[in-house]
Structure 1
Amino acid sequence: MARVGLTTERLTRAGAELADEAGFDQVTVSALARRFDVKVQSLYSHVKSSQDLKTKIALLALEELADRAADAMAGRADKDALTALANVYRDYAREHPGRYAATQFRLDPETAAASAGGRHAQMTRAILRGYDLTEPDQTHAVRLLGSVFHGYVSLEMGGGFSHSAPDTQETWSRVMDALDALLRNWPAS
């Protein structure tokens, strides 16, 4: 019988909190059992393994991020929507570094297809429709935006910009300007 009060959702949320505190790579079923002061075996009716726990945390983080992005982008278009989406990624990474790392966790194709990851791509494509991009350029642009957002956020969080001027917020604003200009003037194939 499962320990009273332990549910898959509660364990997933506790694992997400642990990821934010200690790092996503430190999340294991054993670490979670220590957090609840229970034996590891008592968690196996809710999570199959550390891999399963990490998958659940990744799905939670993708859902949280997609919900925030949808709210931030509502009623916006073009550069305003682009900036709103980018700011959601950056702010989420700052607030929840472990969960943000979980959004990069490789999911199996079936799980990925059923996850909120698809919502992220749909929202990005919705922005790109305002820039008049068609396939395959939309796919190229989705990849570019994801690379820039994640790359900048990762470098910033890792301290990569901390020793030089100008301020990282100024650079971030200039990056948004540059992305907007690029998307408006997308190179022909």
Structure 2
Amino acid sequence: MARANLTPAVVITAAADLADREGFDAITLSALARRFGVQTASLYSHVRDRSALLDSVHELALGELADRIAIAIGGLSGRDALVALADAHRDYARQFPGRWAALQRPAAASTVQSEAAGQVVALTLAMLRGYRLPETELVHATRLLAATINGFLALEASGSIAHREPPAELSWRRALDALDTVFRSWPTEGNS
């Protein structure tokens, strides 16, 4: 690819693709420079440094995940929306392991304030509001949801739950059934 075709978006997407192929830690400016056939210094006009590049991959992944969640949960509520949201996360993690790894790192302040992060949060809260949870409880419910999804997917990615019957798929469904039960019976702030 010629240097003239490089843009921040092209560099960030190439970094995300590299992470999916070789792992998140493989993202370096020198690896990208080799991929583009340019000197590493040439990339600094498109990204500030490696840290900024990693933050940009994180934000890219958030945006892609938000798009998938929006499509998945559109028109759904309750358990159906919960399952669709969780499955969107799981499918994304499987299809894009490097991008998923980017989502597991601490977010920079700019990433937290990004439109992409806001979309993921808004979609998650919209799904949880379908359970009629008190507004004061939404943060707690969101944390439980994130811990369940991310914990299960981390165990699945490491292969640590693949060695025993029944299959992990059944455990995934049971976990989502349990979350549905918890969200339907969530205590109100006054009785906690």
Q: Please tell me the TM-score bracket, short chain as reference.
A: over 0.9
Structure 1 residue 138, shift from structure 2 partner: 1.1
- Which consecutive aligned stretches of 4+ in structure 1 deviate over 4 angstroms post-superposition? none
| Partner in structure 1 of residue 38 of structure 2 | 38
Kindly provide the amino acid, as one letter, of the partner of residue 147 in structure 2. Answer: S
Kindly provide the amino acid, as one letter, of the partner of residue 174 in structure 2. Answer: R
Length-normalised TM-score, structure 1: 0.95
**In 2, are the aligned partners of 1:72 and 1:85 still within 8 Å (CA)?**
yes
Query: Among the aligned pairs, what percent are the same residue?
Result: 47
Kindly provide the amino acid, as one letter, of the partner of residue 169 in structure 1. Answer: E
Alpha-carbon separation, structure 1, partners of 2:18 and 2:68: 21
| Partner in structure 2 of residue 118 of structure 1 | 118
**In 2, are the aligned partners of 1:55 and 1:105 still within 8 Å (CA)?**
no
Structure 1 residue 114, shift from structure 2 partner: 2.1
Q: How many residues align?
A: 188
| Partner in structure 1 of residue 66 of structure 2 | 66
| Partner in structure 1 of residue 133 of structure 2 | 133
Query: Comparing 28-37 with 38-47, which one deviates more in the overlay?
Result: 28-37
| Partner in structure 2 of residue 11 of structure 1 | 11
Kindly provide the amino acid, as one letter, of the partner of residue 17 in structure 2. Answer: E
Structure 1 residue 104, shift from structure 2 partner: 2.2
Structure 1 residue 6, shift from structure 2 partner: 1.1
Are residue 169 (structure 1) and residue 169 (structure 2) matched?
Answer: yes
Structure 2 residues not aligned, in runs of 5+: none
- Secondary structure of the corresponding residue to residue 68 of structure 1: helix
RMSD between superposed Cα atoms in Å:
1.3
Structure 1 residue 145, shift from structure 2 partner: 0.2
Matches within 5 A, 1:49-88: 49-88=49-88
Structure 1 residues not aligned, in runs of 5+: none
| Partner in structure 2 of residue 156 of structure 1 | 156
